[in-house]
Amino acid sequence: MKTMIRLSYFIFILFLFSCNTEPGKITDETTTRGNIKIACDESFKLLFDTEIYTFESLYKYATINVEYLPENDLFDLFFKDSVRAIVTTRKLSKSEEEGLMGSNIVPKTTVIAYDALAFIINHNNPDTTILYSSIKKIFTGEYKTWKDINPKSKLNELALVFDNDKSANVRYINEKFELNQGFPSTCFSVKSNEEVINYVEKNENAIGLISVNYISDRHDSLTINFLSRIKVLAISSETDDGTNGYYYRPYQAYIANVSYPFRRDVYIINRETFTGLGSGFNQFVAGEVGQRIILKSGLVPSVMPIRLIQLSTE
């Protein structure tokens, strides 16, 4: 009898609790519901604003809280376990992977897209092309003026501006050209990709270095605004000394076929120890809908093929 009374009391408590619970409120996490925090390289803000908006529109019980940061800062959050996943342009090092695995965390790295660095100049600058070797000489300090690049130029000392001294763009150039002595005095950083565009717009002697994602989506009003204020340099291949006469801008086709020399991979790195919302969002971005968003943004999807069409005048 006492057992029946206790059981009835327990059922009554559960009934009261359920009456005070919001209809449809879900507390358990799956690949399509939950509430998590991720960090994303600020270079991909335009793209991931769209990815997250679409994902949350499809899955009404899913909330992705994102923080857009320079590369160094987002890795700090990742290793402090402050975010579930990060979007970045570099893989974990072997020691970083071993450190996570020592804490029983097996990181999952997925290539989701191919990006590029764009070199932008002021609208009043008459130059539209530049040799890859000239860019290298700027970063090694051998070229300091526009006349070094083009003897006919009327511009004087050049200024090359990065988005942030903690950004992936700085690391990428440092690694690509093995700048063991650091950057020359002609190079400096501001605080964001937008500030790079603002600086280049106001300074004729400037070259800006930004993620192509900021200027790749020709249907986005913000991108259209940015492109109206600057010009994008066309760059020769790494092996062309100028005799071939081919120069490439960071368009999808040239990123896809690796003609453009400043191409890089974009990754999602996930540290979940179970199959949760972070894994679901990862699968979404790498899946058909997520890849179509990447394609529309002007970057190259890692899965969906890009059609290269050659036009003939014959």
Given this model, what pLDDT does residue 14 score? Answer: 40
Q: Which residues pair with 206 in a beta bridge?
A: 159
pLDDT digits (tens, 9 = 90+) for 198-223: 999 999 999 999 999 999 988 888 88
| Nearest one of 88, 91, 96, 52 to 277, comparing CA atoms | 52
Q: Are 212 and 226 in contact (CB under 8 A)?
A: no
Q: What is the pLDDT of residues 143-195, one digit of tens each?
A: 999 999 999 999 999 999 999 999 999 999 999 999 988 999 999 999 999 99
Buried b (16+ CB within 10 A) or exposed e, 221-255: eebeebbeebbbbbbbbeebeeeeeebbbbbbebb
* Average pLDDT rounded to a whole number, residues 240-268: 94
The three-class DSSP label of residue 116 is strand
Convert the pLDDT of each residue in 298-311 to its tens digit.
999 998 655 555 44
Cβ neighbours of residue 22 closer than 8 Å, sequence gap 6 or more: none
Query: Residue 245 is which amino acid?
Result: G
For 285-296, how does the pLDDT look when each residue is reduced to its tens digit (9 = 90+)? 999 999 999 999
Q: Quick check: 283 pLDDT over 80? A: yes
Domain 26-114+265-301 superfamily per CATH: Periplasmic binding protein-like II (3.40.190.10)
pLDDT (0 to 100) of residue 219: 81
Contact 164, 192 (CB under 8 A): yes
The whole-model pTM stands at 0.86
Distance (Å, whole) CA 91 – CA 97:
9
Report the largest interatomic distance among the alpha carbons of the chain, rounded to a whole angstrom.
102
Q: Do domains 26-114+265-301 and 115-263 have the same CATH topology?
A: yes
Q: Does domain 115-263 have CATH number 3.60.15.10?
A: no
